[in-house]
Amino acid sequence: MKPLEILQKYWKHDYFRNAQEEIIKAVLENKDVLALLPTGGGKSLCYQIPALLKDGVCIVITPLIALMQDQVTSLKKKGIKAIAITSKLSENEIVIAFDNMLYGNVKFLYISPEKLQSEFIQEKIKQLQVNLIAVDEAHCISEWGHDFRPSYLQITNLRSLQPNANFIAVTATATATVIDDITHFLALKDVQLFKETFYRKNLAYQVFKTEDILYKLQQILNKIKAPAIIYVNTRKQTKTISDYLQMHGFKSTYYHGGMSQEDKEISFQNWMSEKYRIMVATNAFGMGIDKDNVKVVVHIDVPNSIENYVQEAGRAGRNGKKAFSVILYNNATILMFEKKIEKSIVDVAYVKQIYTLLNQHLYIAKGEQSLNYYNFNLQDFCAKYKLSIIKAYTAIDILEKEGVLLLEKHFKKRSLVQFVSKDKDVLLYSKKHKKAKALIQLLLRSYGGIFENLTTINENYLATRLQIGKSTLIKQLKQLNKDGIIRYKNQTNNTKILFLVMREDAITINRISRSIIQRNKVKRDKAKNIIAYITNDKTCRSKQILHYFEEKNTTDCDVCDICLQKKSVQKDKKPLAEKIGLLFKEKKEISSKEMVNLLQEKEEDVLETIQLLLEKKILQLTIKNTYKHI
């Protein structure tokens, strides 16, 4: 089959977009490829289609487990076999997965760069027939990228494991420095670079300073009655803002990373079907979104970086029709963002302290490296050593990204309940145990299918309805479980930690100290850049973004808030411009001071109009600091 036939058969599209066809052709010619495509540019098709046309398995490396699962699910729905190797799989399940790849016609293996460091997995990869190696989110390989991960530096090990496989690296956002790093650290040979412009002619970037952000948000949503995404920075805000919008007559839902998979799916489908046209979300919402009629994306908090902003803004107007990306801000939100960035930055000494305390907390001796996972509760750990939860978690996250340890996260998981006794036995139990009766009745009323399946429950809701404390409720549920009435899986805020290196305290941290310092610098620089973008009210928004990504030959977009303001000023200043033009009928050269005196106009208005006439190349500044008419 030809690439276009694969596209039509599995993806039901009639034609390729942007540079997709040229990229696929280069990959099929076994060339190493680096594809820089904007959000919504169809990056995954650039490796999925050639992989389907070649014998063997395509290895896809991505840091995002959620993205792996989304892609695997999507491919399976199309009848394409795909597998994700995650920390959830046991060693035996991993062996079965690789057997399926050898003998079961599996076409895609999704894996994290951290998992690639396992010698066991490397040996298994050696045995595969690999037709292509795809590196997603390739900017992570660069210290100057917005999510640097040292584990990406180990990807080149695949060169020796699969010397005949060519590479394709894809990313949505990368500066020239990051592109050079990707090429160097992935050892791309005679790389074919495909770089699409970040210019979106149908997307109007707009920034509004307003003291009442929610009122301004309502104005926007009243004006644009079409699918919308509202981005916020915290999980709590997603529900708070969504509830606020519901109270004011807008059909809104919300989404964040802490929700159960079932709740995420319900929320996502309600928005996709436009049962609710507005989605309020953290940046966890974005992967796998294929909704082309989003008309507006609004940020009511400062985005973490220009790269993040461009990715999130790019979810509007994918159908090519006019769309809007709006940032609402005021001095307070800028201040909050700056404080948040500083809180998220931890120095080398603090990381060293947390590493030492972790080992102490889990009773790991110096020189020891256990191959076992340790149960770990962040809140208990922070309470024990009187630590800030945010800063401690930031330090632990750095330790994970630097390959010192591995976290298996279970934060905010919901509890599960299933009735395992027959109806009549539950009824008899209720009569004998009066205290449990109200809880049993509430469970049966609140959750359908609770006899057939393990069902997600909300313990806070149940405790509120029964007017008892949450701890009392959990005791009752545990008693019902003990008595064989229900099967109860209690929610946990625990996680598991696997240490990947021997405990060496200072030596371990000194090895990664340069990287920690660099991370902090990049984070501060990116924060300054996004604030500069928001507060710059002189330069076209599109120009600012394009210049950030080193696109030099740019013109004003004419649709952003700054361009529209300039147009308005030009219209207002036309009579004054005409007056200035008439002055040159009597004099060849005139200073700005003379113009003010001759016209009897406000100096600031005259200077502003002169500036516009210079930009339009109607006036020219002479070496004598006077102006002449061209």
Residue matched to tokens 């006077």: 626
* Cα gap 548→79, rounded to integer Å: 41
Same domain flag for 327 and 212: yes
Answer whether residue 513 is part of any domain.
no
pLDDT at 264 (0 to 100) = 83
Cα radius of gyration (the chain)? 29
Same domain flag for 41 and 112: yes
pLDDT at 411 exceeding the cut of 70: no
* Cα gap 26→38, rounded to integer Å: 19
Same domain flag for 433 and 403: no
pLDDT at 559 (0 to 100) = 95
Residue 587 has a CB neighbour count (10 Å cut-off) of: 12
φ/ψ of residue 558, rounded to 5: 70, 0
pLDDT at 462 (0 to 100) = 87
pLDDT at 496 (0 to 100) = 82
Answer whether residue 517 is part of any domain.
no
Residue 307 has a CB neighbour count (10 Å cut-off) of: 24
Answer whether residue 311 is part of any domain.
yes
Q: Which of these ranges, 10-19, 179-188, 224-233, 405-414, has the smallest mean pLDDT?
A: 405-414
244-254: b (≥16 Cβ within 10 Å) or e = bbeeeebebbb
* Cα gap 379→377, rounded to integer Å: 6
- Edge to edge, the sheet with strand 455-457 lists 455-457, 415-419, 486-489
Q: Letter for the amino acid at 611?
A: Q
Residues 6 or more apart from 329 whose CB is under 8 A from it?
207, 208, 209, 210, 213, 302, 534
Q: Which of these ranges, 19-33, 62-76, 194-208, 467-481, has the smallest mean pLDDT?
A: 62-76
Same domain flag for 310 and 395: no
Taking a C-beta distance cutoff of 8 angstroms, is the pair 148, 140 a contact?
yes
Binning pLDDT at 50, 70 and 90, where does residue 204 land?
A: very high
- The secondary structure of residue 509, as a DSSP letter, is H
Structure-token pair, residue 623: 């070496």
Of the candidates 40, 44, 42, 51, the residue with the CA atom closest to the CA atom of residue 19: 42
Tens of pLDDT, residue by residue over 81-136, are 999 998 677 778 888 889 888 887 899 999 988 888 888 899 999 999 999 999 99
Binning pLDDT at 50, 70 and 90, where does residue 323 land?
A: very high
Same domain flag for 324 and 373: no
Query: Span 561-587, mean pLDDT?
Result: 83
Binning pLDDT at 50, 70 and 90, where does residue 271 land?
A: very high
Same domain flag for 140 and 256: no
Answer whether residue 257 is part of any domain.
yes
pLDDT at 597 (0 to 100) = 86
pLDDT at 126 (0 to 100) = 93
Q: Which of these ranges, 63-67, 101-105, 291-295, 348-352, has the smallest mean pLDDT?
A: 63-67
Sign of CA dihedral 446, 447, 448, 452: negative
* Cα gap 297→594, rounded to integer Å: 48
Angle between helices 603-615 and 592-599 (to 10 degrees): 120
Same domain flag for 355 and 447: no
Query: Span 559-576, mean pLDDT?
Result: 82
pLDDT at 459 (0 to 100) = 79
pLDDT at 412 (0 to 100) = 45
Q: What is the mean pLDDT of the chain?
A: 89
What is the DSSP code string of 442-490? HHHHH-TTTTTS-EEE-HHHHHHHHTS-HHHHHHHHHHHHHTTSEEEE-
Cα-to-chain-centroid distance, residue 520: 19
Q: Which of these ranges, 65-74, 274-283, 341-350, 418-427, has the smallest mean pLDDT?
A: 65-74
Residue 488 has a CB neighbour count (10 Å cut-off) of: 20
- The secondary structure of residue 11, as a DSSP letter, is I
Query: Span 266-284, mean pLDDT?
Result: 93
Answer whether residue 515 is part of any domain.
no
pLDDT at 306 exceeding the cut of 90: yes
Taking a C-beta distance cutoff of 8 angstroms, is the pair 455, 486 a contact?
no
CA distances from 620 to 566, 604, 607, 624 (A): 20, 19, 14, 11
Same domain flag for 363 and 311: no
* Cα gap 391→368, rounded to integer Å: 26
Query: Span 461-475, mean pLDDT?
Result: 85
Among the candidates 464, 489, 514, a domain finishes at: 489
* Cα gap 171→108, rounded to integer Å: 19
pLDDT at 435 (0 to 100) = 84
Q: How many domains does the chain have?
A: 5
Answer whether residue 135 is part of any domain.
yes
Taking a C-beta distance cutoff of 8 angstroms, is the pair 534, 331 a contact?
no
pLDDT at 71 exceeding the cut of 80: yes
Answer whether residue 543 is part of any domain.
yes
Q: Which of these ranges, 250-264, 293-307, 416-430, 510-524, has the smallest mean pLDDT?
A: 250-264
CATH of the domain at 348: 1.10.10.10
- The answer to whether the pTM exceeds 0.75 is no
pLDDT at 572 (0 to 100) = 62
602-626: b (≥16 Cβ within 10 Å) or e = eeeebebbbebbeeeebbeeeeeeb
Query: Span 289-306, mean pLDDT?
Result: 92
Cα-to-chain-centroid distance, residue 599: 55
Same domain flag for 158 and 176: yes
Burial category of 423 from C-beta neighbours within 10 Å (exposed 0-12, middle 13-18, buried 19 and up) = exposed
Q: Which of these ranges, 238-252, 263-277, 484-498, 516-530, has the smallest mean pLDDT?
A: 484-498
Greater pLDDT, 90 or 142:
142
Same domain flag for 311 and 432: no
Among the candidates 137, 166, 195, a domain finishes at: 195
* Cα gap 533→337, rounded to integer Å: 14
Answer whether residue 539 is part of any domain.
yes
CATH of the domain at 181: 3.40.50.300
φ/ψ of residue 574, rounded to 5: -55, -50
Residue 401 has a CB neighbour count (10 Å cut-off) of: 21
Tens of pLDDT, residue by residue over 170-182, are 998 888 889 999 9
Residues 6 or more apart from 409 whose CB is under 8 A from it?
495
Same domain flag for 73 and 115: yes
Query: Span 583-592, mean pLDDT?
Result: 89
Range of the domain at 373: 344-411+494-504
What is the DSSP code string of 110-142? EE-TTGGG-HHHHHHHHTS-EEEEEESSGGGGS
Among the candidates 132, 163, 195, a domain finishes at: 195
- What is the rounded end-to-end Cα distance, in angstroms, of the chain? 62
Same domain flag for 99 and 130: yes
